[in-house]
Structure 1
Amino acid sequence: MLKKLGQFTLSILVVSLYSNITSFANNKPLTEAEFKATKLPYSVMAYSNKYAHEYGLDASKAIKLPKGLEAIKLTLSKSFSKGYGPYASKWDYNCTAELYVDKSLNLYWPGDHAKVDKVDDRGLQKSQISTAQLEKKGKYWVPGPYASMLYDAYDKTVKADLASVKLSFFGCGYIPSRYTAAKDGLAIWLEKKGGYNYAVIGQGEREISSKDFYVFKLPQNLVNSYLPYARMAAN
């Protein structure tokens, strides 16, 4: 069952345990002892009723996700960086997101490939993480605090109608809700094919507009179960 979980898409707030996970339903802060006792990688997921039935998952835990998003997994992991010269070797925390999306979406893909395990052009400003408290500007929405995410990998061959996108934060501290109230929630933005190139030199100050992106507001329970760990990793 755990092997299948990495291949399906989610559409309900389902906190799936890939490791020993405690659910912090009210975004309760973790103690340092609780954080250190957490087995990594730590992942939380949400999936749809459709995919629960298709993959034999618990349908009672499925929820409705934003249109086009079939599943979402947030993961905290740790990796070792070997030092050189004046830089010491160290362990780093990694915060990542994996989305399973409807393949009919007109998404930006780094490179014209069916599957890429390691993206070279990681698509700066092609994906964003923002608070879910959006502001209306004309007929489109702009985010409040936001930070870019980078494409790590993608797979357009998961199923006939399904693709996956793996993203990473620049660091676990680059999560807008770290600076706002937990109730503000989080949203992930994936750029549409042919959208404005926000990474162009001299255009970094341009406001991100929802006309160029698919905006997926994340289930609040998923956010509540992940943010305490990401925040501790950022400290």
Structure 2
Amino acid sequence: MNSPVPDPPAADTVSDVAAVGDATDGLLTALALLDDDALAEPSLLPGWSRGHVLAHLARNADALCNALRGRPMYSSAEARDADIERDAHRGLAAHLDDLSDSADRLEQLFAGLGEEDWRRTVELRNGVTDLAAGLPFRRWIEVELHHADLGIGYTLEDFPTVFLDRETANMAARFDGHPAIPEAIELRAEDGRSWRTGAEGDDPVVVVGRVAALVGWLTGRTSGSGLSASGSLPTLPPL
């Protein structure tokens, strides 16, 4: 007897899964040009080498698999940190294999989910919950941002336009009503599009710039370079 074919996921979820694959392929292609010494050098993330960034990416793929299976993403914060430290100091070949294999495990799990599976609520770190359908975009964020964090020539300006637009909206939603942001903020792209975030209020600080510059500031990758503001640039909480 043939196994039943899962109902197809929504079109935007299919698109996100494909985007994760493309972003991962781009990362692996870029990494293949490096060597072991390059991975031991500092990344753009304080305290982490490039090897730490890659170890985190591989373990994040496995953690998302855990979440989709109804398990904790990590057994503990200490175990997460220990796994990253354990894997950070390997050579390039080991990192490439691990990144590819862990990405394949996640992709295969995505491929086996039906429409009802995508609608399930899954638990992430620190009590955060999301629909399973949100996990491909979360993984896309991880791959894009950490590719840039490696400091190997891939920058915010290289992010796909659709990713920049969605990540701006995503971060605006994340900081909307955040208790650590006392100001009302209007994010305004140079083309006139805008997003509201921060506290409620009728007189927001208007922050204007290219979408790539907005994403850099919102995700803590820049201090606000390339942006202008109608008042003091607000201080955002760490991610």
Q: TM-score range by the shorter chain?
A: under 0.3
Question: Could you say which structure has the higher strand fraction?
Answer: 1
Larger radius of gyration: 2
The higher-RCO structure (CA 8 Å, 6+ apart) is: 1
The two structures have a TM-score, normalised by structure 1, of 0.26
TM-score w.r.t. length of structure 2 = 0.26
Structure in which a larger fraction of residues adopt helix: 2
